[in-house]
Amino acid sequence: MSVPFRQSDLDAYLDEALPAEEMGRLEKALRDDAELMGRLQTIHGRRNAGVHSLGAIWRRRRLSCPSREQLGSYLLGAVPDDVAAYIAFHVEMVGCRYCQANLSDLQGREAESQEAVQNRRQRYFQSSAGYLRRAP
């Protein structure tokens, strides 16, 4: 018997804030669990009626997400320990897909800029090497 889904899981599902793995597990369960589907529809209906749990509002507005600047500093190891711990928890444990995407984008940019620096160094080296060779 698998772990039953909680109300907060269903909320997160509707916000697409569940980790991908859980998302898949829930979708699979929904296919043959009419009771679960009923619960999901109830939440969905309540949302459309404007009744939101505080958790849903937080997730929706991403109030718990660190800013992009914070994520960038986190990658550089330039945030205080408690902030780093919060971000690690948020991204790895909560599995916030928004922040995961943001982080991998930032990582990609950083790798890119490091490559650019390397290329520039190499060009500089090659041009000075060429200059040296040509020098009498």
- Chain positions contacting Zn ion, by CB under 5 A: 65, 96, 98-99
Q: At what angle do helices 68-75 and 81-88 cross, to 10 degrees?
A: 110
Shortest Å distance, C-beta 99 to Zn ion: 3
Would you say 56 or 96 has its CB closer to Zn ion? 96
Would you say 18 or 65 has its CB closer to Zn ion? 65
Give the Cα separation of 51 and 43 in Å (integer): 9
Backbone angles phi, psi at 88, to 5 degrees: -60, -45
DSSP structure class, residue 52: -
Would you say 53 or 70 has its CB closer to Zn ion? 70
Shortest Å distance, C-beta 122 to Zn ion: 38
- State both tokens at 8: 């907060």
Shortest Å distance, C-beta 74 to Zn ion: 12
